[in-house]
Amino acid sequence: MLLLTEEPAGPEVTRLAAMAGKYKVFLVMGVIEREGYTLYCSVLFFDPLGRYLGKHRKLMPTALERIIWGFGDGSTIPVYDTPLGKIGALICWENKMPLLRTALYGKGIEIYCAPTADSRPVWQASMTHIAMEGGCFVLSANQFCRRQDYPPPSEYAFAGLGEEPSPDTVVCPGGSVIISPSGEVLAGPNYDGEALITADLDMGEIVRAKFDFDVVGHYSRPEVLSLVVDDQPHRPVSFTSAAEKAPAAKSDGTAKP
Amino acid sequence: MLLLTEEPAGPEVTRLAAMAGKYKVFLVMGVIEREGYTLYCSVLFFDPLGRYLGKHRKLMPTALERIIWGFGDGSTIPVYDTPLGKIGALICWENKMPLLRTALYGKGIEIYCAPTADSRPVWQASMTHIAMEGGCFVLSANQFCRRQDYPPPSEYAFAGLGEEPSPDTVVCPGGSVIISPSGEVLAGPNYDGEALITADLDMGEIVRAKFDFDVVGHYSRPEVLSLVVDDQPHRPVSFTSAAEKAPAAKSDGTAKP
Amino acid sequence: MLLLTEEPAGPEVTRLAAMAGKYKVFLVMGVIEREGYTLYCSVLFFDPLGRYLGKHRKLMPTALERIIWGFGDGSTIPVYDTPLGKIGALICWENKMPLLRTALYGKGIEIYCAPTADSRPVWQASMTHIAMEGGCFVLSANQFCRRQDYPPPSEYAFAGLGEEPSPDTVVCPGGSVIISPSGEVLAGPNYDGEALITADLDMGEIVRAKFDFDVVGHYSRPEVLSLVVDDQPHRPVSFTSAAEKAPAAKSDGTAKP
Amino acid sequence: MLLLTEEPAGPEVTRLAAMAGKYKVFLVMGVIEREGYTLYCSVLFFDPLGRYLGKHRKLMPTALERIIWGFGDGSTIPVYDTPLGKIGALICWENKMPLLRTALYGKGIEIYCAPTADSRPVWQASMTHIAMEGGCFVLSANQFCRRQDYPPPSEYAFAGLGEEPSPDTVVCPGGSVIISPSGEVLAGPNYDGEALITADLDMGEIVRAKFDFDVVGHYSRPEVLSLVVDDQPHRPVSFTSAAEKAPAAKSDGTAKP
Amino acid sequence: MLLLTEEPAGPEVTRLAAMAGKYKVFLVMGVIEREGYTLYCSVLFFDPLGRYLGKHRKLMPTALERIIWGFGDGSTIPVYDTPLGKIGALICWENKMPLLRTALYGKGIEIYCAPTADSRPVWQASMTHIAMEGGCFVLSANQFCRRQDYPPPSEYAFAGLGEEPSPDTVVCPGGSVIISPSGEVLAGPNYDGEALITADLDMGEIVRAKFDFDVVGHYSRPEVLSLVVDDQPHRPVSFTSAAEKAPAAKSDGTAKP
Amino acid sequence: MLLLTEEPAGPEVTRLAAMAGKYKVFLVMGVIEREGYTLYCSVLFFDPLGRYLGKHRKLMPTALERIIWGFGDGSTIPVYDTPLGKIGALICWENKMPLLRTALYGKGIEIYCAPTADSRPVWQASMTHIAMEGGCFVLSANQFCRRQDYPPPSEYAFAGLGEEPSPDTVVCPGGSVIISPSGEVLAGPNYDGEALITADLDMGEIVRAKFDFDVVGHYSRPEVLSLVVDDQPHRPVSFTSAAEKAPAAKSDGTAKP
């Protein structure tokens, strides 16, 4: 992750966009975003033309995060309809929220990105479950980092590590993984160091999986169970003169990049 | 029937609409519709101006259909108030559902379309009964097709036909029929091959039949027997920003095309 | 009476409303109403501003009427609270239904209209009785018409008249009458031909009559005799999306025009 | 009428019963009944075998009567199923109560007795109306009496008569009448003096009248209008040890004499 | 059909019950029932032990019937759970009422009796349809009768037959039929004269038919389409003391005979 | 699983209840239930006193199941508040429905039973995920059975097994498992044959897990994501007289056994 010292319109965003354009990739990246004096745990989306597409803000921070981070709302749960497929993301433990995942399923997500800081084996079980539940590819990226990747001791205390660890100590061991809609692990999980993991995604897998279980289609029971997502932006103070018309979403909830 | 590879807004729909406009007919056609990754057995309606009016989704698939098809809800049981009369449709075996038929009667259906894949003689008895029960004209279209109308063997298995049938084998023998509100067969049933069957409909027949038996008028007993139709759309996930205002129905449940 | 060829929203209603407005009268008129394919024997109400107020549908047709007419329900037994007094109506023989009259008394009717086709002397006895029973003014209008007011013989059979009557034969001799709450005949009964009968109504008569006998007040015994009126509309089929909010009645069951 | 100085079990009742037996008539007679220190306006029933059958107590006294009379309840509205037909009675102005009359209709009354003190012409209109409304024979008896039939002046004041009337002055002029279910006056009204009026009742008239209008049969709408009659006796004080089992009524509410 | 001159407790009912007992059959018979002064078109049920089980009253009379017949309510739509299967009945044209049939389906009817006076071929189509719609056996009995089976001319007019027919003229040609749940005609239709038609009913046919189409089971959509049956008795007048406790129905709406 | 040949009130249920009482256990068991002519995939609950508590009906059958099984509704998703904790169940693939699981979380489920027929390794991932997502113990029971446990070949076809398997062939290999709220596997998965697996459940684990992630508590965002569960029973036909008062649920949606 990257610590943004400015809002998404700042220089870090510009630089990330340029990198996406240079390497002609869709870039989905977890960051710390600042708006005013509050920080948000966010995911930024960029396209191969070097454009910043938008962001998802973590809807509910976890544990100690809540002390210093703000809370997202329903207006930043995007799914982008790209030539690769429909791309969206949840970050870290909010992936455990079944209603939030269902909001993404309702938007037709096909490439489900799950940047995280959870490197426990049980995280892998959740990724496998989500791939099958949603009938989508799950790409979960976790950072691999050592003590030396962070600033010197006086600024940071590494809780639970006792005395100051050595510079080579692995602080977060990674575990990035790619899983198919049928629950097959296509790449990873990698705990061995910094790495780039890749897989060819056969989008037909989605169709085949959905024939068996379409969580928002034939295997739903909307008369009995209906989820309402308030995806309007909510602001503590809003000014009538500044009412921004949000760009109209398509009827399936996705947005064209 | 036609296999739609896109949602109603796709190219097949555009082409069907153009054909309705070219020949200046109301076109009511059974199709397989796809939304997301779920298929629906649907009926599409087009008008002589070449406009797509809307659709009915089969409320309850039959037998093996249920494995691969989704379930309609009460929001897609339209009756269109056209210059020819009030037109609606149920598809195949859902025509056997008495409460569903009564929903159409409650909307004042006059031209009742029943596309089907059932070519048994007892289907004809049901069509005659429905015409008299509803006091409406019944137009039931069934496809006539031979083995050669389908792709080669490796892709399709024709259940119950034993070994691969010859190209000329009749797979579905048709039986399209037009019946008056008094139960008189005006055209068909035709089992002889591809055909266009036609009849002049004397709409005064409806009045005369309803004088004897008006299923939702003087021959009803609403204090004793009342049917409630939930015709709201039900979706597993709905987004407040995409709340589409459905076009207001007239008080008799019909919609102007 | 007038044969409506359209529902209350049709051109005949518009025309009647215009006439009420032109002559600045409350117009209460028996009609044959059509909804869908069923006819109802109804009374329409108009005000001096030329507005259609609403209707009463005959709750129970009489004898041969039942073959071709539908049945009203408890939702169309209105009493309108007008500057002239509280106006309501029952039509023809349903005036003989004691529970139905009591429903109107319960709504505080003061000007009780009784359009009818019954020209027998005993009808006058009932009108006198009702005026005293209900403590209200009774205005009973009956048509005066001759054979020549109807289409030629081939379309109509005048039962009980033997051979085709001459054009001047009186088919219905009228008998319109206005009676006070004390049973005094204020105008009519007129059997002499087409006529307009009028009377000045001293509303204080109602008070004086009710001092003696208040059918829903001091002369009732509700612990022993209680009438329950189901005034909800009953429909054979109702659609949740078209749930029409009926205009809220006042607590005494009347409606402001 | 007769002033009873004792309860029904007293000597006056015994004497009346003997007279009914002697003349072999059903005797239905208005009386003033005393129970404890309260008086009731009641109707007594006797049969040709000289038996006292029971009583009806006026449910609601009229005007000044309320000062000195008690109120009946729903337990004394009998209809007796006799060889002559089903006999019941209401007394004086309670005949104007539509719900109370309907209670008698619900019990199948065929011979409706209406002893009264009302000699006005409008009373005749009500009797005619009731005969047609209920499809029953109406027998209304009113007393013919002169000043000399009452005690001397010092005890009674004849209100509204100014100075003491002469002994021959007619205080109540009678007006007894018998009316058929079709509204035909069969005997009376007699205002000429004491008299016995009689008529042969063709009970088939009831059937013919009910074919046209059966107030509690085919011309009722019980789902819309339903009358509930609490016919349990109500006493201000009741003792558990004295709970009398009322004789079981037949399901149509009548009792065998 | 039989003209009952007394209520169900009368001698005709006793005689029919004795016949059912003598021949050890379930007897389901259309009759004209009298209650008070109103007639009902009813079906009576008897069991092989010679017991009268109860009745169904035609909910809505047809055409001219409405002049002289009363209207049933929802309290007399019985289905009896007998050793032969669950037996119920609708009479004549009310069989065309889809909501009423569905009430019987909801009670689990297996042997559906349809006594009728309709001998047209289209009646057969309805019987076939109902058998398949309800997944039940349909037994429709129609009378075969000649002019001589009725009283002499002066009492009866045979509408539409022109001049008085000869004694041998067939007035109603029958057409009794028995149909299986799959629509197969097991016996009849017989138009040749008085006859007894019989069939062995393989109750397993019901199961097999319901696997395909269970109108109130797996092929219903109760969240979208729900029928409410008011099966309380409705009476214009009810007396609290005569409140008869109806025998408790089982939860599936059937009653044990 | 057990094939019930009768409704829950039948002898199989009685026998199961007796076994639960004999061994003093809570018994949660997947069965095939029959109501009328439709089958349901259900879970039955029994308590240590030998009482049948109630049932859950599978909300959405899977694949071929849909041909022969009915659909549950929201009225049979019970959670029982027992001395052991709050017990509920979903059966087989409906465990993959995130909204349905959330309904159970909303009722406070602590002991989540998941009888299944899915023996694939990915099923284990879902069980681990659900335990952590819901903060509950998950007990998933799968049957272990061989070919010889089923009737001879002619009655059953084992799809996908090619030629008739030998009697010892394992048809379903089991895989029953017990998992703690933190995702720890406490017992199983067992694929070795028939077995009884057990674990001591430390209910304090639930508290500790919910401190981190409470799916319906501090880790929910109800303003943004709200699930509506229609838990009313839906029936195609309902009778007003048989309106069964459902036992009142506690405000948290659970029921006391």
Task: Establish if E257 belongs to a structural domain.
Answer: no
The residue ranking higher by pLDDT, B251 or E151, is: E151
Residues B128-153 have a mean pLDDT of 92
Q: What's the pLDDT band for E81 if we cut at 50, 70, 90?
A: very high
pLDDT value at residue E257: 59
Residues B80-91 have a mean pLDDT of 96
Distance CA(D31)–CA(D69), nearest Å, equals 12
Q: Is residue E249's pLDDT more than 70?
A: no
Task: Establish if E255 belongs to a structural domain.
Answer: no
Q: Which residues of C touch B102 (CB under 8 A)?
A: 236-237
At residue F47, φ and ψ (nearest 5 deg) are: -115, 170
Interface test with E, best of F57, F58, F241 (most E CBs within 10 A): F241
Q: Which chain F residue has the Cα nearest residue B236?
A: F99
The residue ranking higher by pLDDT, C12 or E129, is: E129
Q: What's the pLDDT band for D248 if we cut at 50, 70, 90?
A: very low
Q: Which residues of B touch A229 (CB under 8 A)?
A: 237-240
Residues C70-97 have a mean pLDDT of 95
pLDDT value at residue D246: 47
pLDDT value at residue A160: 56
Let me know if chains F and E touch, i.e. at least 3 Cβ pairs under 8 angstroms.
yes
Q: Which residues of E touch B225 (CB under 8 A)?
A: 59, 74, 97, 99-100, 103, 227-230
- Name the DSSP class of A74: G
Query: Using the beta-carbon criterion (under 8 Å), do E70 and D229 form an inter-chain contact?
Result: no
- Same-domain pairing of B28 and B110: no
- Same-domain pairing of D55 and D96: no
Interface test with F, best of A221, A226, A230, A234 (most F CBs within 10 A): A221
Rounded to the nearest angstrom, the minimum Cα separation between C163 and chain B is: 28
**ipTM for this prediction:** 0.89
- Among residues A48, A76, A104, the one where a domain terminates is A76
pLDDT value at residue D256: 67
Rounded to the nearest angstrom, the minimum Cα separation between B101 and chain F is: 14
- Judge contact between C142 and C119, C-beta under 8 A: yes
The residue ranking higher by pLDDT, E116 or D235, is: E116
Rounded to the nearest angstrom, the minimum Cα separation between E75 and chain C is: 18
pLDDT tens by residue, D170-196: 888 999 999 999 999 999 998 988 989
Taking all residues of chain C, what is their mean pLDDT, rounded to a whole number? 87
Q: What percent of chain B has pLDDT over 90?
A: 67
Distance CA(E67)–CA(E38), nearest Å, equals 11
Q: Which amino acid is at C79?
A: V
CA-to-CA dists, residue F141 to F26, F111, F127, F172, angstroms:
14, 13, 11, 12
The residue ranking higher by pLDDT, D251 or F251, is: F251
Task: Establish if B129 belongs to a structural domain.
Answer: yes
Q: Is residue E110's pLDDT more than 70?
A: yes
pLDDT value at residue B243: 56
What is the Cα D233 distance to its own chain's centre? 19
The SS3 of residue D187 is strand
Question: Which of C46-60, F104-118, F159-173 has the weakest average pLDDT?
Answer: F159-173
Interface test with C, best of B208, B218, B224, B231 (most C CBs within 10 A): B218
pLDDT value at residue E238: 86
The residue ranking higher by pLDDT, C239 or B4, is: C239
> Element (H or E) spanning F17, and its range?
helix F11-23
* Global model pTM greater than 0.80: yes
Residues F56-75 have a mean pLDDT of 90
Q: Which residues contact A4 (CB under 8 A, 6 or more apart)?
A: A10, A12, A13, A31, A32, A33, A34
Q: Is residue F244's pLDDT more than 50?
A: no
Closest CA to E84 of E179, E186, E206, E248: E206
Q: What percent of chain E has pLDDT over 90?
A: 67
pLDDT value at residue D155: 52
Q: Is residue A244's pLDDT more than 80?
A: no
Residues C241-246 have a mean pLDDT of 56
Q: Which chain E residue has the Cα nearest residue F232?
A: E223
Chain C and chain E share a number of CB contacts under 8 A equal to: 11
Per-position DSSP letters for D124-159, written without gaps between them: HHHHHHHHHHHTSEEEE-B-EEEGGGS--TTT---T
Question: Which of B12-26, D126-140, F149-163 has the weakest average pLDDT?
Answer: F149-163
Peptide bond into A189 cis (omega under 30): yes
Task: Establish if E244 belongs to a structural domain.
Answer: yes
Q: Which residues of C touch D225 (CB under 8 A)?
A: 59, 74, 97, 99-100, 103, 227-230
pLDDT value at residue F182: 95
Question: Which of E19-28, E126-135, E156-165 has the weakest average pLDDT?
Answer: E156-165
- Same-domain pairing of F178 and F109: yes
Distance CA(A139)–CA(A197), nearest Å, equals 10
Q: Which of A107, A135, A253 sits opposite B37 (nearest CB)?
A: A135
- Same-domain pairing of B19 and B131: no
Q: How many Å is the maximal CA-CA distance in chain F?
A: 58
- Same-domain pairing of A6 and A108: no
Q: Which of E71, E234, E242 sits opposite D249 (nearest CB)?
A: E242
Chain B neighbors (3+ CB pairs < 8 Å): A, C, D, E, F
Taking all residues of chain A, what is their mean pLDDT, rounded to a whole number? 87
Domain count, chain F: 2
Chain E neighbors (3+ CB pairs < 8 Å): A, B, C, D, F
- Name the DSSP class of F245: P
Query: Using the beta-carbon criterion (under 8 Å), do D252 and E69 form an inter-chain contact?
Result: no
pLDDT value at residue D70: 87
Question: Which of A87-91, D155-159, F187-191 has the weakest average pLDDT?
Answer: D155-159
Task: Establish if A255 belongs to a structural domain.
Answer: no
- Among residues E76, E111, E130, the one where a domain terminates is E76
Task: Establish if F255 belongs to a structural domain.
Answer: no
At residue C172, φ and ψ (nearest 5 deg) are: -140, 120
pLDDT value at residue B210: 93
pLDDT value at residue D228: 94
Residues D70-86 have a mean pLDDT of 94
The single residue listed with the structure tokens 């299944």 is: F116
pLDDT value at residue A237: 80
- Same-domain pairing of C57 and C108: no
Q: What's the pLDDT band for F30 if we cut at 50, 70, 90?
A: very high
Interface test with B, best of A86, A218, A223, A225 (most B CBs within 10 A): A218
pLDDT tens by residue, E157-173: 555 455 677 888 898 99
Q: Is residue A161's pLDDT more than 90?
A: no
- Same-domain pairing of B107 and B143: yes
The residue ranking higher by pLDDT, D96 or E66, is: D96
Task: Establish if B175 belongs to a structural domain.
Answer: yes
pLDDT value at residue A158: 55
Q: Which chain B residue has the Cα nearest residue F98?
A: B236
pLDDT value at residue A68: 80
Q: Which residues of B touch C231 (CB under 8 A)?
A: none
Taking all residues of chain D, what is their mean pLDDT, rounded to a whole number? 87
Query: Using the beta-carbon criterion (under 8 Å), do E106 and F68 form an inter-chain contact?
Result: no
Query: Using the beta-carbon criterion (under 8 Å), do E240 and D232 form an inter-chain contact?
Result: yes
CATH number of domain containing C114? 3.60.110.10
pLDDT value at residue E8: 55
- Same-domain pairing of F71 and F149: no
Packing angle between helix A98-106 and helix A121-134, nearest 10 degrees?
40
Query: Using the beta-carbon criterion (under 8 Å), do E215 and B133 form an inter-chain contact?
Result: no
Distance CA(F244)–CA(F257), nearest Å, equals 19
CA-to-CA dists, residue E82 to A202, E88, E109, E138, angstroms:
60, 10, 11, 16
pLDDT tens by residue, C189-204: 989 899 999 999 999 9
The SS3 of residue A176 is strand
Query: Using the beta-carbon criterion (under 8 Å), do B129 and E124 form an inter-chain contact?
Result: no
Paired residues of C22 in beta bridges: none
The single residue listed with the structure tokens 């037998």 is: B63
Q: Is residue A8's pLDDT more than 60?
A: no
What is the Cα F202 distance to its own chain's centre? 21
pLDDT value at residue D165: 77
Packing angle between helix E98-106 and helix E121-134, nearest 10 degrees?
40
- Same-domain pairing of D67 and D94: no
Rounded to the nearest angstrom, the minimum Cα separation between A222 and chain E is: 10
Query: Using the beta-carbon criterion (under 8 Å), do E224 and A223 form an inter-chain contact?
Result: yes
Task: Establish if E181 belongs to a structural domain.
Answer: yes
Q: Which residues of C touch B76 (CB under 8 A)?
A: none
The residue ranking higher by pLDDT, A152 or B130, is: B130
- Same-domain pairing of A145 and A191: yes
Q: Is residue C30's pLDDT more than 80?
A: yes
Highest mean pLDDT pick, D237-251, E8-22, E42-56, E157-171: E42-56
Q: Which residues of D touch C215 (CB under 8 A)?
A: 96-98
Taking all residues of chain E, what is their mean pLDDT, rounded to a whole number? 87
Q: What's the pLDDT band for E240 if we cut at 50, 70, 90?
A: confident
Question: Which of A148-152, A208-212, E250-254, F191-195 has the weakest average pLDDT?
Answer: E250-254
Structural Rg of chain B based on CA atoms: 19
Residues D219-245 have a mean pLDDT of 82
Q: What's the pLDDT band for D3 if we cut at 50, 70, 90?
A: very low
Q: Is residue D250's pLDDT more than 90?
A: no
The residue ranking higher by pLDDT, A139 or E212, is: A139
- Same-domain pairing of A23 and A102: no
Q: Which amino acid is at C66?
A: R
- Name the DSSP class of E155: T
Q: What percent of chain C has pLDDT over 90?
A: 66
Q: Which residues of B touch D224 (CB under 8 A)?
A: 223
Query: Using the beta-carbon criterion (under 8 Å), do D99 and C99 form an inter-chain contact?
Result: yes
Rounded to the nearest angstrom, the minimum Cα separation between E101 and chain F is: 11
pLDDT tens by residue, B164-175: 778 888 989 999
pLDDT value at residue F57: 96
What is the domain extent for residue C142? 85-250
- Same-domain pairing of D57 and D108: no
Q: What's the pLDDT band for C244 if we cut at 50, 70, 90?
A: very low
Q: Which chain B residue has the Cα nearest residue F64?
A: B67
Q: Give the strand pairing for D225-229 and E2-3.
A: unpaired
Taking all residues of chain B, what is their mean pLDDT, rounded to a whole number? 88
pLDDT tens by residue, D16-67: 999 999 999 999 999 999 888 788 999 999 999 999 999 999 999 888 888 7
pLDDT value at residue C196: 92
pLDDT value at residue E153: 62
- Among residues F42, F76, F110, the one where a domain terminates is F76
pLDDT value at residue C249: 53
- Judge contact between A119 and A174, C-beta under 8 A: yes
Interface test with F, best of A69, A99, A104 (most F CBs within 10 A): A99
